[in-house]
């Protein structure tokens, strides 16, 4: 019986260690997304639309990278930081579209 408990404890530690690693990777990417989105909105305010568009494209790659990390750990989405960073990116995308008079993009 005790050996079984030790096996279970070991598996739990491995699982939570992997979950923590995924969360840490996603947290770093979410910070990059939030920072880049703020820089994008500042570029829009300066009417640097080409620079804003380029930053949006680069940030989208970071969003995709975070999504790939979180595909393995879907519970991390519910912690809030990942969703918040994606909302910041969406705000930058929508702000550029609105200011330029473009159609709002679909998800």
pLDDT at 73 (0 to 100): 86
| Mean pLDDT over the full length of the chain | 92
| pLDDT interval class at 71 (50, 70, 90) | very high
Determine the straight-line distance between the first and last CA of the chain, rounded to whole angstroms.
51
> In whole angstroms, what is the distance from residue 64 CA to residue 68 CA?
6
User: 107 or 90: which carries more pLDDT confidence?
Assistant: 90
Q: How confident is the model over 30-56, as pLDDT tens digits?
A: 999 999 999 999 999 999 999 999 999
H-helix segments, 46-80:
49-71
pLDDT at 15 (0 to 100): 87
Residue 57 has pLDDT above 80, yes or no: yes
Query: What pTM value is reported for the model?
Result: 0.86
């Amino acid at each position: 019986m005790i050996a079984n408990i030790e096996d279970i404890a070991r598996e739990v530690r491995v699982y939570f260690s992997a979950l923590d690693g995924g969360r840490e990777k996603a947290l770093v990417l979410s910070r990059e997304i939030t920072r880049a989105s703020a820089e994008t909105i500042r570029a829009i305010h300066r009417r640097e639309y080409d620079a804003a568009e380029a930053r949006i494209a680069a940030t989208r790659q970071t969003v995709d990278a975070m999504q790939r990390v979180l595909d393995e750990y879907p519970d991390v989405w519910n912690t809030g930081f990942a969703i918040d960073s994606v909302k910041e990116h969406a705000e930058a995308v929508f702000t550029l579209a609105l200011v330029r008079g473009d159609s709002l993009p679909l998800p």
